[in-house]
Amino acid sequence: GEVQRMTAGTGMAHSEFNRQDESLHLYQLWFIPGQKGLAPSYEQKDIGFTSGNKNKLVPLATGQKVLEDVVYMNSNSTIYWSNLDEDNEIEFKTFPIRLTFIYVKEGSIFVNGTELGPNDQARMTNDDVVHIRAIKDSQFIMIDLPSAESNY
């Protein structure tokens, strides 16, 4: 239920520990920042995104626009979380100059007609719409980011 963002452009020492008795599923993602020479910084929010918020894309971190309760990152990108119940669908409108990545944590989904299961991923380019339908109850993250050709 937490999201962290770290800017380490000028260097810093960092480590992660799970001090809880229960297992932890962690995604560590790296993004090229929108500018160079950023000062080191850190932000963490407990936003409880894994409970509630069913059948939609919930923004967790973004640099595209200011949203409440979302971690800011210096990238023209957005990371979303979804708890998608069986037989529910989500459509995400994008542009051919954007990339869309999906990482499935649990469950099974169709992404533009291709089936994905736990730990599978999809990387899409040149799409106008990403259509996601849950075959069974599923959890996944989706990342919307600029392509290299989009003149970030």
**Which residue ranges form the domains of the chain, and what is each CATH number?**
2-150 (2.60.120.10)
Q: Pseudo-torsion of CA 77, 128, 67, 109, nearest 10°?
A: -90
pLDDT band at 47 (very low <50, low <70, confident <90, very high): confident
Position 24, amino acid: L
pLDDT band at 152 (very low <50, low <70, confident <90, very high): very low
Please give the average per-residue pLDDT across 39-56, as a whole number.
80
Q: Which residue has the tokens 């640099």?
A: 63
Backbone φ and ψ of 58, nearest 5°? -105, 115
Q: How many CB atoms lie within 10 A of CB 76?
A: 18
HEC readout, 13-80: CCCCCCCCCCCCCCCCCCCCCCCCCCCCEEEEEECCCCCCCECCCEEEEECCCCCCCCEECCCCCEEE
Q: Supply the pLDDT for residue 41.
A: 85
Q: For 74-127, how does the pLDDT look when each residue is reduced to its tens digit (9 = 90+)?
A: 899 999 999 999 999 999 999 888 999 999 999 999 999 999 999 999 999 988
Q: How far apart are CA 63 and CA 66, in angstroms?
A: 7
Q: How far apart are CA 71 and CA 112, in angstroms?
A: 28
Residue 115, classed as helix, strand or coil, is strand
- Considering only residues 102 and 9, tell me which one the structure prediction assigns the higher pLDDT: 102
When the pLDDT of each residue in the chain is averaged and rounded to a whole number, the result is 87
Q: What is the largest CA-CA distance in the chain?
A: 46
Spatial CA neighbour of 1 closest among 44, 50, 42: 50
Q: Supply the pLDDT for residue 49.
A: 64
Q: Which residue has the tokens 């990238």?
A: 75
